[in-house]
């Protein structure tokens, strides 16, 4: 009797063990069937949860940006990649891809991705325009207001205990915006949104891009099309909203700064490489131009001893154009949607090329 009950127990144990092993095998099989996704940096919990339901997800948690060797290793094995604007997704890296179907970048700029080579390898590229337009235009206008009224400079003066004089006729004077000319380089999504803000401040709006926008849009925005030469020589404020491409690389150099008004301010929220930073530093030091508001730099983050930090006539922001809670969530939603579509052989919601 005792024997038969103990053999029943051991049979039950064996069954239990077998079921467990089968269960584990099933999990392993499902995992093996699940496509692999790699993120070079973490995203919001809702985005990760969504991804984890469908894919085997790995998030890089070490050094930012991810070392290129690790990126190459991961690209070799995954089906989908979510990356950020500082990741170098160049030809040499993409060449490692064996199963990669989609590169989904958490940004509207895609100058960090070799999109031409991706297309040749039939890897789709998704990006996140539109949702960040207002936030970035607000950032550009914040920099413009700040530099024109010396807000950050005043903050520094107070914090450094250097506020000596009070309310003099010539103390810490800035400039008005009303009737000043703003030259918008690149009247695309963000440029247009900036024009609307400038219009509300009664500024004269001029713009330059390779193509003119429609007459209706020009009328609504009260924007006048000018040549690049006219834009740089006539503007009191220039705000840069072109993507970084071969054509726009170092578009602003000493030649351009010399043609600008010495009272003019330069605002850049596009990409650092559109400006020759060394020349800009020289122009600011020599007062060839009055000042600059910068959210982007040639190499980011800039170092503690970067020459721009020592200049009083610049306002610096750490590449936070799109950085509002609402916008960053929307960007995560789109980055995930783009990945979802691309990994399944479909065109991302916002797709570069195809
Ligand atoms: P967009 O809608 O594509 O607008 C780009 C504009 O630039 C278009 O009007 C385009 O017009 C013009 N353009 C392109 N190449 C040009 C050239 N060689 N000369 C003159 N104009 C040129 O892009 P967006 O959404 O406004 O974004 C603009 C850029 O802002 C992005 O590429 C990104 O680098 C940057 N950005 C930065 C942040 C941040 O956090 N700081 C956030 C978002 C975006 P044509 O094609 O007619 O020339």
Q: Domain 133-316: give its CATH code.
A: 3.40.50.720
C-alpha angle with apex 194: 188 to 199, nearest 5 degrees? 120
**Tell me: the pLDDT tens digits for 287-334?**
999 999 999 999 999 999 999 999 999 999 999 999 999 999 999 999
Distance (Å) from CA 186 to ligand 1 centroid: 6
d(CA 311, CA 10): 80
**Which residues does the annotation mark as catalytic?**
271, 300, 319
Distance (Å) from CA 242 to ligand 1 centroid: 3
pTM of the model: 0.91
Pocket test for ligand 1, best of 186, 232, 238 (most atoms within 8 A of CB): 186
How big, in percent rounded to 5, are the helix, strand and coil portions of the chain? 45, 15, 40
Q: How far apart are the first and last CA of the chain?
A: 74
Residue 342 has pLDDT above 60, yes or no: yes
Beta bridge partners of 266: 238, 292
Mean pLDDT over the full length of the chain: 95
- The CB-based long-range contact list for 97-102 (8 Å cut-off, 24+ gap) reads 97/121, 97/123, 99/36, 100/75, 101/342, 101/343, 101/344, 101/345, 102/126, 102/338, 102/339, 102/341, 102/342, 102/343, 102/348
**Tell me: the pLDDT tens digits for 247-260?**
999 999 999 999 99
pLDDT range class, residue 1, cuts 50, 70, 90: very low
Distance (Å) from CA 271 to ligand 1 centroid: 9
| Fold equal for 34-131+327-343 and 133-316 | yes
Residue 2 has pLDDT above 80, yes or no: no
Question: Candidates 3.40.50.1820, 3.20.20.80, 3.40.50.10860, 3.40.50.720; correct CATH number of 34-131+327-343?
Answer: 3.40.50.720
List the strands of the sheet with 80-83, edge to edge. 56-59, 36-39, 80-83, 102-105, 124-126
Residue for token pair 């325009």? 129
Question: Out of 47-51, 162-166, 180-184, 200-204, which region has the weakest mean confidence (pLDDT)?
Answer: 162-166
Nearest to 57 by CA among 76, 72, 67, 42: 42
Distance (Å) from CA 310 to ligand 1 centroid: 29
Pocket test for ligand 1, best of 209, 296, 298, 301 (most atoms within 8 A of CB): 209
Pocket lining for ligand 1, CB < 6 angstroms: 108-109, 129, 132-133, 136, 186-191, 209-211, 241-244, 247-248, 269-271, 295-296, 319, 321-322
Residue for token pair 């010399």? 258
Sign of CA dihedral 122, 125, 126, 129: negative
Instruction: Check: CB of residue 38 under 8 Å from CB of residue 81.
Output: yes
Nearest to 133 by CA among 49, 195, 216: 195
User: Relative to the CA of 212, which ligand 1 atom is closest?
Assistant: 47
Continuous H helices in the chain: 2-33, 45-54, 68-77, 91-94, 115-120, 133-149, 151-159, 189-200, 215-221, 228-234, 254-259, 277-285, 325-343
Residue 341 has pLDDT above 70, yes or no: yes
User: Relative to the CA of 242, which ligand 1 atom is closest?
Assistant: 7
Report the SS3 class of residue 125.
strand
Instruction: Check: CB of residue 85 under 8 Å from CB of residue 112.
Output: yes
Domain definitions of the chain by residue range: 34-131+327-343, 133-316
Distance (Å) from CA 132 to ligand 1 centroid: 12
pLDDT at 174: 96
**Tell me: the pLDDT tens digits for 10-32?**
777 788 887 887 777 665 566 66
d(CA 198, CA 239): 11
Pocket test for ligand 1, best of 243, 273, 327 (most atoms within 8 A of CB): 243
User: Relative to the CA of 209, which ligand 1 atom is closest?
Assistant: 21
Structure tokens at 58: 């790995």
């Amino acid at each position: 009797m005792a024997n038969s009950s103990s053999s029943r127990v051991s049979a039950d144990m064996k069954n239990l063990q077998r079921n467990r092993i089968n269960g584990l095998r099933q999990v392993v099989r499902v995992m093996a069937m699940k496509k692999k996704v790699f993120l070079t940096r973490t995203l919001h919990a809702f985005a990760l949860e969504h991804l984890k339901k469908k894919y085997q997800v790995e998030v890089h948690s070490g050094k930012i940006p991810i070392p290129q060797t690790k990126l190459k290793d991961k690209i070799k094995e995954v089906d989908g990649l979510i990356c950020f604007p500082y990741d170098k997704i160049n030809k040499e890296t993409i060449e490692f891809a064996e199963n990669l179907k989609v590169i989904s970048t958490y940004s509207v700029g895609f100058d960090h991705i070799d999109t031409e080579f991706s297309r040749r390898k039939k890897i789709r590229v998704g990006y996140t325009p539109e949702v960040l337009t207002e936030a970035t235009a607000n950032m550009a206008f914040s920099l413009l207001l700040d530099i024109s009224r010396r807000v950050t400079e005043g903050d520094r003066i107070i914090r450094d205990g250097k506020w000596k004089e009070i309310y003099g006729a010539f103390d810490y004077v800035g400039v008005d915006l009303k009737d000043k000319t703003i030259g918008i380089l690149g009247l695309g999504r963000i440029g247009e949104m900036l024009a609307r803000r400038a219009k509300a401040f009664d500024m004269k709006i001029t713009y330059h891009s390779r193509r003119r926008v429609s007459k209706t849009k020009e009328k609504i925005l009260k924007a006048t099309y000018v040549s690049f030469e006219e834009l740089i020589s006539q503007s009191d404020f220039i705000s840069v909203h072109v993507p970084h491409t071969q054509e726009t690389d170092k578009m602003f150099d000493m030649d351009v700064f010399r043609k600008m008004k010495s009272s003019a301010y330069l605002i850049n929220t596009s990409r650092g490489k559109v400006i020759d930073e060394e020349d800009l530093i020289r122009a600011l030091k020599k007062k060839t131009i009055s000042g600059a508001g910068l959210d982007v730099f040639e190499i980011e983050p800039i170092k503690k001893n970067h020459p721009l930090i020592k200049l009083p006539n610049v306002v610096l922001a750490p590449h936070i154009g799109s950085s509002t809670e609402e916008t960053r969530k929307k960007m995560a939603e789109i980055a995930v949607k783009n990945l979802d579509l691309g990994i399944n052989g479909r065109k991302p919601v916002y797709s570069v090329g195809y």
